[in-house]
A and B are shown apart, each in its own frame.
Chain A
Amino acid sequence: DTGVSQDPRHKITKRGQNVTFRCDPISEHNRLYWYRQTLGQGPEFLTYFQNEAQLEKSRLLSDRFSAERPKGSFSTLEIQRTEQGDSAMYLCASSLARGLAHEQFFGPGTRLTVL
């Protein structure tokens, strides 16, 4: 399967704990995006990378959130000191750089539940 993969698919944690999610994009895609989706809403942009450079971060991304893409391949999203409001589906997507294609291809998501 050469699509976008995410790990884990589900994560249940207690408030105050740290969690880390991983995303592996489609191999030839140089852009990688993170989104968050809550019930009844569309996905909301969090941040994106072109190769290893983080090009944009949303105001939604508080200082408890950090994302990395150290070698321009896979990416991690870490949430420190989780809060109940962090419960959501975290989606990763990848694409070729704009100007070649706008379409982003999504992974299955990681569902986070903070108790």
Chain B
Amino acid sequence: DQQVKQNSPSLSVQEGRISILNCDYTNSMFDYFLWYKKYPAEGPTFLISISSIKDKNEDGRFTVFLNKSAKHLSLHIVPSQPGDSAVYFCAASEDKLIFGTGTRLQVFP
């Protein structure tokens, strides 16, 4: 069973607009979440994380929001840039990482 779910396999956004990537989880014991970005033929690159004691964490153009009651987190990228085009994975940390299936983001001019 999939404990971390990314229900949108793809997202297309115009350059300069906001990209919102969503992630749901089932295990209420998860207490730390991470977002990774992956380009083809490369390993995932860490982007941003959030602890369950917070509901928001911001780093430059990237903001992660956590709604514990809904077991939902989202990654906002604003403004979106063509270089953001990649696959984005959310993950829950349980020492090991439990990943979602990813969302492919395409940012077009």
Contacts and interface: CB of A to CB of B under 8 A. Distances in A.
Interface of A: 4, 33, 35, 40-45, 48, 55-56, 91, 93, 98, 102-109, 111
Interface stretch (B14-22, B76-84, B98-106): B98-106
A108 B42 contact: yes
Band of interface residues on B? 20 to 34
Contacts of B42: 108-109
Nearest to A105: B46
Interface stretch (B56-64, B67-75, B87-95): B87-95
Interface in B41-58: 41-46, 49
Q: 8 closest A-B pairs (Cβ-Cβ)? A: A42-B99, A106-B43, A45-B96, A102-B93, A106-B44, A102-B32, A103-B46, A108-B43
Given A42-B89, A42-B91, A42-B102, A104 B97 contact: yes
Contacts of B44: 43, 91, 106
A41 B98 CA distance: 12
Nearest to B33: A102
Contacts of B99: 42-44
A109 B89 CA distance: 16
Contacts of A102: 32, 34, 49, 93
A91 B44 CA distance: 9
